[in-house]
Amino acid sequence: MNIDHVATLRQARYPSKGGAGASAESMAEPDVIRAAHESELGGAACITAHLREDRRHVVDRDIERLAETVRVKFNLEMAATDEMVGIAEVIRPHMATLVPEGRMEVTTEGGLSVDKQTDRLTAVVARLKASGVSASAFVDPDEQQIAAAAQCGFAWVELHTGPYAHAWFRAGGDIREPRLKQEMHRLVRASEVCRDRGVALNVGHAINYDNVGPVARLDGLQELHIGHAIVARAVYTGLRAAVAQMGEAIGVREGGSVVVAGWEAAGAVKGG
């Protein structure tokens, strides 16, 4: 469960105006710590928060409090900057997922170009590992990027599922549509490369209740990192129920086997 957009809602009313600190007002409702607790009660096995350079939603105090209170896995999303690595060394989350950041983007819009900065990222991964933090790279489902991540020592790769989600929306979930089929097979191939390279597989970005089924069945998948769709549903249902409903969407079972309409015969996912 990515709780960034709980903080986005808070900051819309009580902005901290950037910087590394947070005013007293910016720690008002909704409280991201309570959101993390509700998510745990709903079944979330990992809490993710992205501390951006401009502190547009999550702020430093949030990360400090999450590190103290989260009772499941805590994943810190961050840019590979000296400032953020230093924070991770102090906070020591279970995992740090390195992502690219753009000043004008609403959310992360693409994967990290690991192959263009292997020396620097190798050093960052080594620093994190020395502090007991497992490192993950958020990358596009591209064999070259996965291979570079393995070379740098990343223990995890999180595949960027944005293009798949956009193709799903354009196709209305029709798996016969060529672009959607292409994007799904990109993810399948990338999952195979992760297995061959010995890195653990996560996925995330633009996953919602409608499109989660096929990606949840990728062979070797360890974690799905989902935030906005759950926070959006929670407006109507409450956060605990929204998390539980996503859990049901990830593994809807009928007669003991996962059912994802249309994908059983595709040969592209588990049991296919």
Q: Which two tokens stand for residue 270?
A: 């588990």
Order of strands across the sheet with 156-160? 46-50, 73-78, 95-98, 134-139, 156-160, 200-204, 221-225
CB neighbour list of residue 232: distance below 8 Å, 6 or more residues apart: none
DSSP reduced 3-state for 135: strand
CA distance 113 to 139: 7
Cite the DSSP H helix spans in the chain. Answer: 4-13, 32-41, 60-69, 82-91, 118-130, 143-152, 162-171, 178-197, 212-216, 228-237, 239-250
Cβ atoms 49, 63 nearer than 8 A: yes
Q: Has 205 been annotated as catalytic?
A: yes
CA distance 109 to 66: 25
For residue 255, report the phi and psi dihedrals to the nearest 5 degrees: 65, 25
Which residue in 5, 37, 50, 57 is the catalytic one?
50
The catalytic residue positions are 50, 77, 205
